[in-house]
Amino acid sequence: MPSAETFKALLRVQDLTREFVSRRGLSTRHLVAVDRANLTISADQHEILTIAGESGSGKTTLARMMLGLVEPTSGHMLFKDRDVSHITGGANRKWFRRQVQPVFQDPFATFNPLRRIESYLYETVGNYGVAPRKTADEPIERALNAVGLSLREVKGRYPSELSGGQLQRVSIARALITDPSLLVADEPVSMLDASLRMSVVNLFRELKARQSVIYITHDLATAYYASDRVAIMLRGWIVELGPVQKVLGEPKHPYTQLLKTSVLEPDPRQKSTERVSLATSDEGSFVRVGCRFADRCPHVMDICRSVEPPDVPVDGRLVKCHLYESQSSTEEAAEAAAPLVASAT
């Protein structure tokens, strides 16, 4: 097993931060949507890394930065050792876009109801120079086959003639046309019926044979089912990061523990019986000193109200919490933060 020092990184996110400023009258508010996020995806082993959190946690902003759609305020992002933190245009941007493809939440909004489905696929082939027009069918067929469809099935059809599940598959096929190294899927099943969700989640598991996937979701049940590793976000922070069996099986951070008891279902094919909202969108909590969970944490201590908690390695994962502070060591921290290839046991 390679050490945490020797793995090659596909994507390295270092202290990535995005701040938004809103002005209301004479007052100005600063909202740090993502605060010094650190993540690494290995180049040596494909994985599904889930970024999970409630609405307002910063997960979608982090995803959009990783797609190059939102510029970070500070921090860095390296993809295949190239700094892509502020990709603006030209060949570099095209190269990055070919390598890192998005899958968006709403397949119904992705496609214009008046355009034939295949036009999007041919357009992608052309935009990225994947193949000349006369051989464009080949990469399209390959991508559609990978999601269980064929060109014959979709050619000539309009979005309204396909089901939501089929449309999301076409949307994923469009993302696969450039043969990307990484898919970033933002809530890709949240608009689908429960009956279709698992088939799309299973599709991502199959696609892991071809590339890594970053799966953004508020749904811990599908996260548990689909992921290799999971990062839990709370108010702009990653508060727990590690292998899914550890983070969701035996959570250490008080917030992850609360999430698990509130919303996690052991079997995502079963219907949810109860959803407890843990959404916390009060802007004050993003800028408060100390721990951003202090107002609701059952283990809160004096230090939590004045000092930001460190990232502490605990049992193979990183936990941002004062409770575990005395257990930390630099070596363990590096191992706990490392991607699957270096951290799996």
| Binding residues for ligand SF4 (CB under 6 A) | 254, 291, 293-294, 297, 299-301, 304, 309, 321-323
Burial 311-336 (b: 16+ CB within 10 A, else e): bbbbebbbbbbbbbeeebeeebbebb
Q: Which is nearer to ligand SF4, 194 or 301 (CB)?
A: 301
**200 or 323: CB nearest ligand SF4:** 323
Q: Which is nearer to ligand SF4, 251 or 254 (CB)?
A: 254
CB of 294 to ligand SF4, least distance (A): 4
323 or 342: CB nearest ligand SF4: 323
Question: In angstroms, what is the minimal distance from the CB of 139 to ligand SF4?
Answer: 48
The smaller minimum CB distance to ligand SF4, of residues 294 and 340, is found at 294
Q: How far is the CB of 342 from ligand SF4 (least distance, A)?
A: 26
Q: Please, which residue, 12 or 322, has the CB nearer to ligand SF4?
A: 322
C-beta closer to ligand SF4: residue 308 or 335: 308
SS (H, E, C) the chain: CCCCCCCCEEEEEEEEEEEEEEEECCEEEEEEEEEEEEEEEECCCCCEEEEECCCCCCHHHHHHHHCCCCCCCEEEEEECCEECCCCCCHHHHHHHHHHEEEECCCHHHHCCCCCCHHHHHHHHHHHCCCCCHHHCHHHHHHHHHHCCCCHHHHCCCCHHHCCHHHHHHHHHHHHHCCCCCEEEEECCCCCCCHHHHHHHHHHHHHHCCCCEEEEEECCHHHHHHHCCEEEEEECCEEEEEEEHHHHCCCCCCHHHHHHHHHHCCCCCCCCCCCCCCCCCCCCHHHHCCCCCCCCCCCCCCHHHHCCCCCEEEECCEEEECHHHHHHCCHHHHHHHHCCHHHHCC
Provide the minimum distance between the beta carbon of 187 and ligand SF4 in the complex, in angstroms, as a whole number: 26
CB 234, min distance to ligand SF4, A: 9
2: its two tokens: 């390679």
When the beta carbons of 246 and 292 are compared against ligand SF4, the nearer one is: 292
CA distances from 307 to 12, 137, 288, 290, 291 (A): 27, 58, 10, 4, 7
Least CB distance from residue 176 to ligand SF4, whole Å?
A: 40
Minimal distance in Å, beta carbon 255 to ligand SF4?
6
Least distance from C-beta 231 to ligand SF4, angstroms? Answer: 16
